[in-house]
A and B are shown apart, each in its own frame.
Chain A
């Protein structure tokens, strides 16, 4: 089964059809997607600003990581679920949209980076991992997540 035929199948599921048929379902799901965007942005920024030396400096990095982790995971879950619902309603259009593919690739990279490098940097012994590594990780993290956001907005322009 090709990717395109899978996307076509997604769009023709009763779920996809129901979202397309409804006048308010798509904007409602989009609103949830946007609200979760704010939360994930906040959780990512609190952590990255700390690593850059521009945030809540009086707290150890690992403590801030543990405090923001549930909000990052919670909002990411809402983002993924609402995003999949939006996808189902217009999968074929997205297949032909470059921004969609750039968004999915950078999303994958951003998640991988967060779960591996960021996690390691955040939980590392500050005496062993210098602040420069933290700053570098923060810049990469912000760039990756921003790409996801910008491409997400760009999907709407077509």
Chain B
């Protein structure tokens, strides 16, 4: 089955139709998705800004990461769950939306960025933990993260517009 075929199948499931046609459930899921931005992305931004050496410079990087990461993980879980529900409600149109595809691509890149950070410069954090400005590798990871997440937010907002939709 092609991805499009899967989306078409998904769109015809009772759950998808119910969510799509609901008066309250869909806007509530969407509101939770948008507002969890504060928890997930807000704290991710603060974390990245610490890694860039522009805020909380007198706080050890490990303290900022250790205390904020658990919250960002909770936030991310809510983002993914509500995001999946939003896709589930409108699968075909979303799949064909160019902004949705950009968003997914950026999400994957953001994941790769975190994986690289954790396997490289993060391993040596004890060496630069109390440095006000962390080493280039950490700043690079933080900068890339900020750019990608900004792109994800903008692309996510734009999914509402079908200017460049592909035809099925």
Chain A nearest CB from B129 CB (Å) reads 12
Residue of A35, A37, A40, A46 ringed by the most chain B CB atoms within 10 A: A46
When distances are taken between beta carbons in the complex, the residues of chain B under 8 Å from A64 are 56, 59
When distances are taken between beta carbons in the complex, the residues of chain A under 8 Å from B37 are 34, 37-38, 41
Is A27 a contact partner of B158 (Cβ separation < 8 A)?
yes
- Is the interface on chain B under 10, 10 to 19, 20 to 34, or 35 or more residues? 35 or more
Is A38 a contact partner of B64 (Cβ separation < 8 A)?
no
Expressed in whole angstroms, the Cα–Cα distance for A59 and B63 within the complex equals: 9
Q: Is A153 an interface residue (CB 8 A)?
A: yes
Q: Tally of A-B residue pairs with Cβ under 8 A? A: 104
Secondary structure of the B contact surface, majority rule: helix
Secondary structure of the A contact surface, majority rule: helix
Expressed in whole angstroms, the Cα–Cα distance for A35 and B57 within the complex equals: 23
Chain A nearest CB from B83 CB (Å) reads 15
Chain A nearest CB from B152 CB (Å) reads 10
Is B150 a contact partner of A35 (Cβ separation < 8 A)?
yes
When distances are taken between beta carbons in the complex, the residues of chain A under 8 Å from B34 are 34, 153
Task: Identify the closest chain A residue to B49 (Cβ).
Answer: A71
A35-49 vs B, Cβ < 8 Å mask (1 yes, 0 no): 101111111111001
Q: Is B67 an interface residue (CB 8 A)?
A: yes
**In residues 47-62 of chain B, which contact A (Cβ within 8 Å)?**
49, 55-60
Q: Is B161 an interface residue (CB 8 A)?
A: yes
When distances are taken between beta carbons in the complex, the residues of chain A under 8 Å from B56 are 46, 56, 59, 64, 67-68
Q: Is B78 an interface residue (CB 8 A)?
A: no
A134-158 vs B, Cβ < 8 Å mask (1 yes, 0 no): 0000000000001001100110010
Is B43 a contact partner of A42 (Cβ separation < 8 A)?
yes
When distances are taken between beta carbons in the complex, the residues of chain A under 8 Å from B55 are 67-68, 70-71
Chain B nearest CB from A144 CB (Å) reads 13
Chain A nearest CB from B145 CB (Å) reads 12
Task: Identify the closest chain B residue to A157 (Cβ).
Answer: B27
Task: Identify the closest chain A residue to B72 (Cβ).
Answer: A42
Is A45 a contact partner of B150 (Cβ separation < 8 A)?
no
Q: Is B136 an interface residue (CB 8 A)?
A: no
When distances are taken between beta carbons in the complex, the residues of chain B under 8 Å from A71 are 46, 49, 55
Is B59 a contact partner of A58 (Cβ separation < 8 A)?
yes
Chain B nearest CB from A32 CB (Å) reads 9
A63-97 vs B, Cβ < 8 Å mask (1 yes, 0 no): 11001101100000000000000000000000000
Is A63 a contact partner of B38 (Cβ separation < 8 A)?
no
Expressed in whole angstroms, the Cα–Cα distance for A146 and B64 within the complex equals: 23
What 6 pairs across the A-B complex have the smallest Cβ distances? A41-B38, A42-B42, A41-B42, A38-B41, A42-B46, A31-B154
A-B contacts, 5 listed (Cβ < 8 Å): A41-B37, A42-B44, A46-B43, A55-B67, A56-B59
